[in-house]
Structures are given as structure tokens and as C-alpha cells.
């Protein structure tokens, strides 16, 4: 059997994917036409030709176009619903999607209110559940760079982070399960966000910050110590400090790794230099994710295939990563049991005991 078919049918969860970066290309174009006055139709068409981004900043300018296009309850519902279709096509049973809620409500003249977003998420999610049998929950992101001003001294204003915490608390009944921290890590360390994350955790929300992507292991250290991270988005640069690796292993803090995103954003030059396998071998719980599939041009299945090919992982390893994704998710216990039993069923139907040990050799790697 071909690797792409195996990966496509394997039940799995995706824990690090931005809603704005997962807008289906057809939906982005539809919204660009709907909002002609934004003048972004041409740029969206370019997006669909898989532009190679040169830098983190470059990537963000495209990302912001996608964010601008979500301007009403119906837009959110449509984007979420089509995300659900994509999940069904890749057999992604459950997703935790990161939403830049503050930017949606404050950065552009969208006249969008928090309740509009909640209603859209709820509508899209319910319809996707009915039509595609998939589930989604949300992480509200704090834009780290917007809190700092000045040089000497560097001034920190917690207002935005406090607002996002408030939105997340209100959103719990709509499926918001945690808060995150996103943006460029260098020059925006985690330490000042300590209180907000502490309050979030006290109120039952999870701490799921980005760290160790655009800055080194020190940033991961801050996420662990200051933000009490439950999981870390990326975290790949933990590899630069074995003390941080040891801490992640001991505390069993999983890393939600997005390999192609790291290559496209120049964190590593090639997949062979990516530390995914090293982190896995060192005993860190790793999951595979696509980050911004529509912008980066790589689906979750593409990520599984890329990792399998580069590091010669066996099918058993891919099953292990799929199981990790369910186990360290914040799906309900009932859902987790259901998805894990689906994976067991999948193993039974695709691989007999004998085949399991030799599956790697039997798979055709020409997908």
C-alpha cells in the first residue's frame, strides 16, 4: 500500500493549526471577492500558487490578509465548516485551532464583536460535526509583540493579554480550552506574561504558548517556568540546551511540532537538519502538525509523509505519533477513548501482526 493512503486513512488529531492559516483556498478567494473594497483578490490568487516565503515578516503579511477576510459570523462559520471538510478528507478526527482573537476584534475596521466570533465558531463547528463527524476546540492567542514599547527601559503593558484572557474565559462554553502566546519571540520574552497565564490556569484554561521557534531554548525555559506550559507550540529549539530537553521529558510537556513550517520560515534549512527525530529519541512527547496549511502549502498528511520519508519512520512510529496527538489533546475522555479505539481498529484492518514489523519495507514511498 502507498504511504499517502495509509497516512490519509490513519485516524489522528491536529493540535497546532491556526484557523486563519487554515482557510481553504476556495473560501479565501470567495471572501476576497465578497470584500472587493479590501483589494486583495490578486494577492489571494498568488497565495494559491504556493509562494515561497522569505522571512517570518513576509509570512505574516500574507497571514494578515487571511485574517482581514474573516469579517462576520457567517465568515467564521464558513471557514470553520470548510476546515471540518478538510479534516474529514485527511481523517483528522479532532483539531485544536489557534485563533488570533485580539487582532480580529481590534486591529482592522471590521466592526466585529466577540459574540459574532463565538456564534460563527459554534455554527461552523456544529455543522461540521453533523456533516463530517469531526470535532474542534479553540485556543485564544495573545500577540506577544504588541505588549512592549520603548528601548531603555523596555516597557511592558499587560492590557491586551488581560483582554485575551477575558475573551477566553467567556469562550469556555463555546469550546475555548486554553490561551497561547504568538508572534516573534525575540525581543518579547515570556516572563512578563507570567501573571496572566497563572490566572488562566487557576480558572481551568491550559497554557499552550509558542516557544523555541523564532528564539532559542531560553524561550522554552521561560514557557516552562514562567507560563507553566501544558504543551508547547513548536519548541524545536529546545535541542540547543539539554537541560531544557531534560525538563520537558521529566515534566512530560509535549511539543506540537510543525516541520514544514520550520523549513519555510527558515528555522532550519532542510528537513534533514530538523531536530524532530532527535527530540523524539530523547524521550520528548512529540506530535505532528501543519501550523498554517493553506499558507504554507502543506497539509497534516503531507507532514506525516515528510517526516516518515526523511527519518525513515515505520508505520508503527506514525501510529505512535497519531496516538500521541489524541492522548495529549484536550478532547473529552469519551472522545479520546473513541479515537484511540479507531486507531486500534485501523491497525487491525491495515496491518496484521507479521506485517507490522515489516510495514516500512512494504510501503511504496512514491506518493
- 291 vs 317, beta carbon nearer Zn ion: 291
Sign (positive or negative) of CA dihedral 217, 222, 225, 229: negative
Write each residue from 59 to 98 as x if it is in contact with Zn ion (CB under 5 A), else as -, in one continuous string.
----------------------------------------
- 84 vs 293, beta carbon nearer Zn ion: 293
Residue by residue, DSSP assigns 159-220 as HHHHHHHHHHHHGGGGTEEEEEEES--TT--SGGGHHHHHHHHHTT-EE--EESSSS-HHHH
Distance of CA 203 to the CA centre of its chain: 23
Q: How far is the CB of 266 from Zn ion (least distance, A)?
A: 15
- 135 vs 291, beta carbon nearer Zn ion: 291
Residue 29: left if φ>0, alpha if ψ -120 to 50, beta else—which one?
A: alpha
Q: How many residues bind Zn ion (CB under 5 A)?
A: 1
Q: How far is the CB of 185 from Zn ion (least distance, A)?
A: 11
Coil, helix or strand for 331? coil
Q: How far is the CB of 233 from Zn ion (least distance, A)?
A: 5
Write each residue from 276 to 295 as x if it is in contact with Zn ion (CB under 5 A), else as -, in one continuous string.
---------------x----
What are the phi and psi torsion angles at 154 (to 5°)?
-80, 125
Q: How far is the CB of 37 from Zn ion (least distance, A)?
A: 29
- 126 vs 184, beta carbon nearer Zn ion: 184
- 16 vs 71, beta carbon nearer Zn ion: 16
Q: How far is the CB of 325 from Zn ion (least distance, A)?
A: 16
The residue nearest Zn ion at its CB is 291
Sign (positive or negative) of CA dihedral 241, 329, 293, 118: negative
Nearest alpha-carbon partner for 264 in 51, 14, 19, 44:
51
The binding site for Zn ion (CB under 5 A) comprises 291
Amino acid at each position: 500500500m502507498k504511504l499517502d493512503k495509509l497516512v490519509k486513512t490513519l485516524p489522528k488529531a491536529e493540535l497546532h493549526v491556526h484557523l486563519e492559516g487554515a482557510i481553504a483556498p476556495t473560501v479565501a478567494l470567495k471572501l476576497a471577492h465578497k470584500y472587493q473594497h479590501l483589494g486583495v483578490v490578486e494577492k489571494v490568487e498568488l497565495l494559491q500558487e504556493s509562494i515561497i516565503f522569505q522571512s517570518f515578516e513576509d509570512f505574516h503579511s500574507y497571514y494578515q490578509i487571511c485574517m482581514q477576510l474573516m469579517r462576520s459570523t457567517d465568515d467564521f462559520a464558513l471557514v470553520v465548516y470548510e476546515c471540518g471538510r478538510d479534516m474529514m478528507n485527511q481523517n483528522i478526527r479532532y483539531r485544536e485551532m489557534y485563533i488570533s482573537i485580539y487582532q480580529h476584534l481590534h486591529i482592522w475596521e471590521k466592526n466585529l464583536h466577540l459574540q459574532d466570533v463565538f456564534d460563527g465558531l459554534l455554527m461552523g463547528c456544529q455543522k461540521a460535526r453533523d456533516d463530517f463527524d469531526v470535532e474542534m476546540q479553540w485556543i485564544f492567542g495573545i500577540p506577544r509583540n504588541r505588549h512592549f514599547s520603548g528601548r531603555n527601559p523596555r516597557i511592558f503593558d499587560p492590557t491586551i493579554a488581560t483582554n485575551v484572557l477575558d475573551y477566553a474565559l467567556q469562550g469556555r462554553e463555546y469550546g475555548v480550552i486554553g490561551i497561547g502566546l504568538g508572534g516573534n519571540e525575540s525581543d518579547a520574552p515570556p516572563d512578563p506574561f507570567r501573571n496572566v497565564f497563572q490566572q488562566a490556569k487557576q480558572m481551568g484554561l491550559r497554557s499552550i504558548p509558542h516557544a523555541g521557534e523564532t528564539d532559542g531554548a531560553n524561550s522554552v525555559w521561560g514557557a516552562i517556568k514562567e507560563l507553566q506550559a501544558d504543551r508547547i507550540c513548536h519548541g524545536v529549539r529546545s535541542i540547543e540546551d539539554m537541560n531544557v530537553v531534560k525538563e520537558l521529558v521529566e515534566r512530560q510537556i509535549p511539543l506540537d511540532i510543525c516541520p514544514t513550517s520550520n523549513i519555510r520560515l527558515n528555522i532550519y534549512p532542510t528537513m534533514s537538519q530538523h531536530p524532530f527525530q532527535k527530540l523524539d529519541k530523547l524521550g520528548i512527547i512529540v506530535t505532528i502538525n501543519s501550523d498554517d496549511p493553506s499558507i504554507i502549502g502543506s497539509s497534516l498528511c503531507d507532514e506525516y509523509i515528510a517526516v516518515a520519508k526523511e527519518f525513515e519512520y515505520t508505520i508503527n512510529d506514525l501510529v505512535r505519533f497519531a496516538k500521541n496527538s489524541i492522548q495529549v489533546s484536550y478532547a473529552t475522555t469519551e472522545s479520546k477513548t473513541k479515537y484511540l479505539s479507531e486507531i486500534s481498529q485501523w491497525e487491525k484492518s491495515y496491518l496484521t501482526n507479521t506485517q507490522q514489523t515489516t510495514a516500512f519495507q512494504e510501503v511504496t514511498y512514491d506518493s
